[in-house]
Amino acid sequence: MYEGTLILESLRVGTELTQIPVVVRKISRYDVSSATTDQPPVWSVLEFEVEDWHAETLSRELAATLDSPGWYADFHDAKEIFVVFPGRVFRYPRGDVVARAEAQAFGRQLGIPEPQLDWTE
């Protein structure tokens, strides 16, 4: 089972993710001090779980539906991490500092502020 976080404002308008069963664990709203000018100052956050066999499909669907420029979603299990940006998926073993650095560097290229590049390791 993978656990993850999705900021609902990161999805392109008109997006529907209907083919991947996820379990919603928590929905919350936050004021975000590190929001860029392209991001709203309040975010709706969906914490979810997805079965192992749906993880790769979910990553592809998110890569196709996340808005640009500065958004990503992430989810993980005990062994690996998915970090999904618009058009790009990073999948790497937990603890792989080189792969994490590559994903963070890609996020910086998209203009994601450093404080937001803080997914669970």
Structure tokens at 111: 């203009």
Query: What separation in angstroms does the CA of 80 have from each of 9, 44, 109?
Result: 25, 25, 23
DSSP letters along 50-105, please? E-GGGHHHHHHHHHHHB-SSS--EEEE-SSEEEEEETTEEEEEETT-HHHHHHHHH
Q: Is the dihedral of CA 110, 15, 74, 38 positive or negative?
A: positive
Q: Residue 2: how many CB atoms within 10 A of its CB?
A: 21
Pairing of strands 80-85, 88-93: antiparallel
How much of the chain is in helix, strand and coil states, percent to nearest 5? 25, 35, 35
pLDDT for position 110: 93
Domain ranges within the chain, ordered by starting residue: 2-116
Pairing of strands 73-76, 2-7: antiparallel
- Per-residue model confidence as pLDDT tens for the chain (121 residues): 999 999 999 999 999 888 889 999 999 999 988 888 888 999 999 999 999 999 999 999 999 999 988 899 999 999 999 999 999 999 999 999 999 999 999 999 999 989 999 998 8
Q: Write down the pTM of the prediction.
A: 0.92
